[in-house]
């Protein structure tokens, strides 16, 4: 049997693994949307549920509290450690493991429901992660995920970060932009004939912040790509000021009543 080809995104994934290690505090914002996704996915007691890119486990734990047999997978050990602590406090059992969304370590058709909240969208190859999520989903099972539309604040923020990062080395394939997963037309193309009964819904994440500058500072400490970008600009103060000015201007468009209001898209479909 031939050896597997090396992963062209191995270094990119290693940077993600490390970069997202400080994401833990953001769970205070992502916990309410987790309940909305689990409800939208119609998770029921006894179902086998996988949370892809589970982070601190807010979706998997919410599903487990509904009586589901939940599993969660993430690249980042620090987030999985927090997820296990969260599950223990919630009094539920969830099988959390370290792994790659593009190479899910589960057999075909292992789950009744496959979920992802702002997670699988960061996998560099949409075709690969889509194939894997559908592979481990049983026929007639549901796939559901939450993503950031490119036209709204979080999608625009990631586009701002991407514009300011150095280009990938010559001859290498760039990772797909995560916010494209927030475009219903692109989602239709990516899921294709592998699903039926494709449904969309929209909601808003509310992130408390005493000021726009407070929010920007918190994001710089917790959002992996932004954290790396800010660190890379420490010796270029003019460019750093420009980045922060643009960030705060965008955030100002969605800041009201001491909170950032960030719209997101939910997708649900049935595996054909």
Give the pLDDT confidence score for residue 176 in this predicted structure: 96
Kindly give, in sequence order, each residue whose CB lies less than 8 Å from that of residue 238, ignoring residues fewer than 6 positions away: none
Q: Which domains does the chain have, with CATH numbers?
A: 10-153+167-204+264-271 (3.40.50.150)
Please tell me the predicted confidence (pLDDT) of residue 108.
98
Dihedral sign computed on CA atoms, order 91, 83, 106, 270: positive
Q: CB within 8 A of 31, min separation 6: which ones?
A: 58, 62
pLDDT of residue 3: 55
> For the whole model, what pTM was predicted?
0.95
Element (H, E) at 141: strand 137-147
pLDDT score, position 173:
85
Block means of pLDDT (10 residues each) for the chain, length 272 residues?
A: 74 93 97 98 98 98 98 98 98 98 98 98 98 98 98 97 85 91 98 98 98 98 95 96 98 98 98 97
Two tokens, residue 65: 């509290």
- Residue 111, SS3 per DSSP: strand
The confidence score (pLDDT) of residue 1 equals: 45
DSSP letters of 146-178?
EE--TTSHHHHHHHHHHHHSPPPPTTSPPPPPG
């Amino acid at each position: 049997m031939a050896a597997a080809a090396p992963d062209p995104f191995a270094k990119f994934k290693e940077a993600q693994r490390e970069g997202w290690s400080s994401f833990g505090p953001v769970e205070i914002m992502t916990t309410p949307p987790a309940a909305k996704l689990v409800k939208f996915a119609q998770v029921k007691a006894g179902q086998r549920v996988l949370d892809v890119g589970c982070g601190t486990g807010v979706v998997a734990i919410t599903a487990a509290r509904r009586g589901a047999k939940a599993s969660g997978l993430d690249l980042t050990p620090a987030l999985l450690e927090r997820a296990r602590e969260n599950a223990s406090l919630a009094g539920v059992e969830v099988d959390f493991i370290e792994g790659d969304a593009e190479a899910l370590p589960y057999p075909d058709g292992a789950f009744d429901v496959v979920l992802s909240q702002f997670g699988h969208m960061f996998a560099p190859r949409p075709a690969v992660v889509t194939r894997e999520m559908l592979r481990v989903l049983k026929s007639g099972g549901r796939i559901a995920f939450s993503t950031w539309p490119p036209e709204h604040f979080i999608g625009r923020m990631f586009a701002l970060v991407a514009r300011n990062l150095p280009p990938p080395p010559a001859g290498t394939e760039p990772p797909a932009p995560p916010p494209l997963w927030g475009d219903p037309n692109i989602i239709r193309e990516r899921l294709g004939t592998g699903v039926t009964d494709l449904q969309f819904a929209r909601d808003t994440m509310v992130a408390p912040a005493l000021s726009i500058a407070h929010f920007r500072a918190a994001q710089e400490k917790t959002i992996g790509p932004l954290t790396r970008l800010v660190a890379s600009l420490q010796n270029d103060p003019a460019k750093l000021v420009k980045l922060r000015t643009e960030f705060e201007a965008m955030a100002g468009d969605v800041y009201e009543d001491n909170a950032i209001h960030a719209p997101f898209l939910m997708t649900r479909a049935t595996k054909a």
